[in-house]
Structure 1
Amino acid sequence: MTDAASMREHAEALSISALGFVASDPELLPRFLAITGIDAGSIRQAAREPGFLAGVLQFILAHEPTLLRFCEATGTPPAAVGQALRHLPSGDTSYESSI
């Protein structure tokens, strides 16, 4: 994957995988909902908002044990999560200039 579009697609796919990981964990989901202020019934709608997927990766990255569990469960190198974040809207300030 060398072009920006395919990198973003990969980042989105990783974020969706991370959301599934969070949603399936009975300890992580309530914490994610509390931190984001989203109720469980609104996750699908919120997922359509710019920045939501970046927020999921930020949530994973904010707690090293969670990051390591996610990476182990998905076979993802931990550094790849941070790299994916940079290719999503609201992942960092350079996203806008890379479009």
Structure 2
Amino acid sequence: MNPDQAETIALQALAWIAADEELLPQLSGATGASLEDARERAQDPAFLAGILEFLTMEDRWVQRFCDDHSLPYDAPMRALMALPGQQRDEWP
């Protein structure tokens, strides 16, 4: 996966979380970011990595997100690893 694809998945995840009445407050609580902050930082790869890290905290969120977007269940983690500064040796 290339960084552009990863950013697209992260932006999809951000929009998906923002539309969920249960998840949006949890994201705000975990990150301290408001919806306005998210809009302003939506092009920042580090912020997008944080969105994907939040999403991947719960398998059920990953499954729902991936099902809603017809993505394989490993796509959010692969996207996270493809963002600049996130590459890790232990993830292929």
Instruction: State whether TM-score is above 0.5.
Output: yes
Give me the TM-score of the superposition, normalised by structure 1: 0.80
Instruction: Structure 2: give runs of 5+ residues left out of the alignment.
Output: none
Aligned to 1:27: 22
| Matching residue of 2:77 | 82
* AA in 1 matched with 2:5: H
The CA RMSD over aligned residues, in Å, is 1.7
Residues 2-81 of structure 1 mapped to structure 2, 5 A cutoff = 7-81=2-76
Partner of 1:91, secondary structure, is coil
- The structural deviation recorded for 1:26 is 0.4
Higher relative contact order (CA 8 A, sep 6+): 2
In structure 1, runs of 5+ residues without a counterpart are 2-6, 95-99
1:93 deviates by 4.9
Could you say which structure has the larger radius of gyration? Answer: 1
Identity among equivalent positions (%) equals: 35
Question: Is the 2:3–2:83 contact (alpha carbons within 8 Å) kept by the matching residues of 1?
Answer: yes
Amino acid of the residue matched to residue 60 of structure 1?
Answer: L
| CA shift for structure 1 position 60 | 0.9
